[in-house]
Amino acid sequence: MALTGAEYLESLRDGRAVYIRGERVESLPDHPAFSRAAGFMAGLYDSLHTQGPHTKALTWETERGSLSHRSFRIARTRRHLQERADAMRVWARMHFGFMGRTPDYKSGLAISLGAWPEFFDPYQSNARRWYERLADDVLFLNHVGVNPMVDRSKQPHELPDVNVRVVKERDDGFIVRGAKLVGTAAVFTHCNLVFSFSPVPLSDKDSDHALVFIVPTGAPGLKLISRPSYELAAKDRSPFDYPLSSRFDENDATLIFDDVFIPWENTLVYRDAEKANRFFPMAQVTQNLMLHGGVRFATKLRFLAGLLVRIAQQNGTIGLRGVRVRVGEVIAWHQAFEALVRDACSNPDPGPNGTVAPSHRAIFALRALAPMVYPKIRQLIEEVGGGGFIQLPSGAEDLLSAELRPFIDRYYRGTGVDAEGRIKLWKLAWDAIGTEFGARQELFERHYAGNVDNVRMDNLFLAENNGDLDEYAGFVQECLDGYDLHGWTQ
């Protein structure tokens, strides 16, 4: 049965070793750097148990009779895929698209385990069991794949003291040591899937690193070193000043494996470079995962388009040609991503064992395009907003000051809106695009789905393998065949 919000918060008090500002966090849900975001996640869990207009789209009963999130259903038809996307949209709307990782994100990975457990031979029973656990309890899983940035010119085995590798094998499992660059929301998860994700494939010499396994976030020896918390920075401020930073900071942490024991039952790939390399592409993991990425990104663009429209209205510029051009462009991008998500669901790829996966053409296109589009959207909003983002009082207190208020009311008002309403909107917009939280949103969209080069090149790789490249070349040939040195041939 899906956890309730209270059960989720309690599950985070498992002795996990999270560090921030040099201290080990005693109780994550009670710590000022994490409590609001943890509380938001708990609210997501509660929404599964609360009857409302969202219930039908959001929930699903697993084959084992558990109340679950509908995105965990293995799709066998187009309709199932569309329903997965609809369920993800319900939660994405609750955080306006600003949280890349919520418990439904990794439903895509869970599905890949459940749809094709045979891929993980000889660990197929682990894949099956983990799918059922993740789906039945809506466990929060994230992944960590990228190695620390010590020296990108080296293969894992050439940096023997850095990357996660086996240091000892035992009858009941193995011990790993090393680190992973970053796990978004890792501090809020129940467990993390550890694998190798790099532009350079693992070679046979990297067999100690050729692993895929799941580790509980509270496992002894696992340390999570948090980046600066935007929630903590906004702690003493009114939500009026930091409405997004203060509740949707999903955090990112470096994971350090200081001799962590991994039992065989949590193992999916062991010392098998070929399988560890094929894991993401072959098991349709990227397609299943990035459906969430696409739904969330489209939701975020819907929100940013709304922000931009309201900014232009409040500035009295919505009728001006240059502004209309920019607002129109943002709307076009939003619609394009909604269309890619629809296409991903309505033109699925066949998957193993009678399943279907979101179309690889649509998914890999949106994965490559989102990192290019997001900085452009930020730019367009800044162009339309101009210096308005800087004509913002330092805090809600300024509006509450009897001395300042008459001036603020006169000089900060907008077109058809009083000063308080205008400042409220613009502070929200600045938190979305300009604060440390807002800037990290761009970095996230740019990188979270993979290396900036590979996310584009993967489209070529797929086209080379699915016949599209021949079709492109043949199409040009049709044109070339229409004429020669002597004139028209057709």
Ligand X SMILES: Cc1cc2nc3c(=O)[nH]c(=O)nc-3n(C[C@H](O)[C@H](O)[C@H](O)COP(=O)(O)OP(=O)(O)OC[C@H]3O[C@@H](n4cnc5c(N)ncnc54)[C@H](O)[C@@H]3O)c2cc1C
β-strand partners of 483: 488
Q: Which stretch binds ligand X (CB under 6 A): 43-51, 136-144, 428-436, 464-472?
A: 136-144
Closest distance between ligand X and the C-beta of residue 181, in Å?
A: 6
- Residue 120 burial by Cβ neighbours in a 10 Å radius (0-12, 13-18, 19+): buried
Q: Give the C-alpha separation, 434 to 455, whole Å.
A: 26
Q: Which of 381, 380, 283, 302 is nearest to 341 (CA)?
A: 302
Residue number, nearest CB to ligand X? 184
Closest distance between ligand X and the C-beta of residue 177, in Å?
A: 18
Q: Specify the residue, 199 or 406, whose C-beta has the smaller distance to ligand X.
A: 199
- Residue 64 burial by Cβ neighbours in a 10 Å radius (0-12, 13-18, 19+): exposed
Binder to ligand X among 447, 456, 468, 469 (CB under 6 A)?
A: 447
448 binds ligand X (CB under 6 A): yes
Q: Give the C-alpha separation, 380 to 367, whole Å.
A: 21
Q: What is the DSSP letter of 386?
A: G
Q: Tell me the one-letter amino acid at 10.
A: E
444 binds ligand X (CB under 6 A): yes
Closest distance between ligand X and the C-beta of residue 167, in Å?
A: 21
Q: Specify the residue, 149 or 479, whose C-beta has the smaller distance to ligand X.
A: 149
Closest distance between ligand X and the C-beta of residue 362, in Å?
A: 21
Q: How far apart are the first and last CA of the chain?
A: 67
Closest distance between ligand X and the C-beta of residue 447, in Å?
A: 4
Strands 211-216 and 267-270: what pairing?
A: antiparallel
144 binds ligand X (CB under 6 A): yes
Backbone angles phi, psi at 325, to 5 degrees: -60, -45
336 binds ligand X (CB under 6 A): no
Size of the site for ligand X (CB under 6 A): 23
- Total residue length of the chain: 490
Binder to ligand X among 146, 211, 260, 408 (CB under 6 A)?
A: 146
272 binds ligand X (CB under 6 A): no
309 binds ligand X (CB under 6 A): no
Write the DSSP string, 45-108.
Answer: HHHHHS-STTHHHHEEE-TTS-EEEGGGSPPSSHHHHHHHHHHHHHHHHHTTT--S--TTTTHH
Within 10 angstroms of residue 352's Cβ, the number of other Cβ atoms is 15
C-alpha separations of 444 from 124, 366, 427 in Å = 33, 15, 21
Closest distance between ligand X and the C-beta of residue 328, in Å?
A: 29
450 binds ligand X (CB under 6 A): yes
124 binds ligand X (CB under 6 A): no
Closest distance between ligand X and the C-beta of residue 325, in Å?
A: 31
443 binds ligand X (CB under 6 A): yes
Closest distance between ligand X and the C-beta of residue 406, in Å?
A: 43
Binder to ligand X among 171, 204, 453, 478 (CB under 6 A)?
A: 453
Site string for ligand X, 458-477 (x = CB under 6 A): --------------------
Closest distance between ligand X and the C-beta of residue 23, in Å?
A: 23
Closest distance between ligand X and the C-beta of residue 113, in Å?
A: 17
Closest distance between ligand X and the C-beta of residue 202, in Å?
A: 13
- Collapsing DSSP states into helix, strand and coil, what is residue 227? coil
- Whose structure tokens read 């077109």? 415
84 binds ligand X (CB under 6 A): no
Q: Which stretch binds ligand X (CB under 6 A): 105-113, 316-324, 441-449, 482-490?
A: 441-449
Strands 191-194 and 211-216: what pairing?
A: antiparallel
Binder to ligand X among 24, 152, 168, 205 (CB under 6 A)?
A: 152
Q: Specify the residue, 146 or 357, whose C-beta has the smaller distance to ligand X.
A: 146
Backbone angles phi, psi at 286, to 5 degrees: -60, -45
Q: Specify the residue, 145 or 414, whose C-beta has the smaller distance to ligand X.
A: 145
Closest distance between ligand X and the C-beta of residue 180, in Å?
A: 6
Answer left, alpha or beta for residue 270, where phi above 0 means left and psi between -120 and 50 means alpha.
beta
143 binds ligand X (CB under 6 A): yes
Binder to ligand X among 5, 114, 117, 145 (CB under 6 A)?
A: 145
Q: Which of 278, 312, 277, 348 is nearest to 425 (CA)?
A: 312
Cβ neighbours of residue 292 under 8 Å, at least 6 residues apart? 71, 88, 104, 105, 107, 108
Site string for ligand X, 171-210 (x = CB under 6 A): ----------xxxx------------x-xx----------
231 binds ligand X (CB under 6 A): no
Cβ neighbours of residue 107 under 8 Å, at least 6 residues apart? 69, 71, 72, 84, 134, 135, 288, 292
**Contacting positions for ligand X (CB under 6 A):** 142-146, 152, 181-184, 197, 199-200, 252, 440, 443-444, 447-448, 450-453
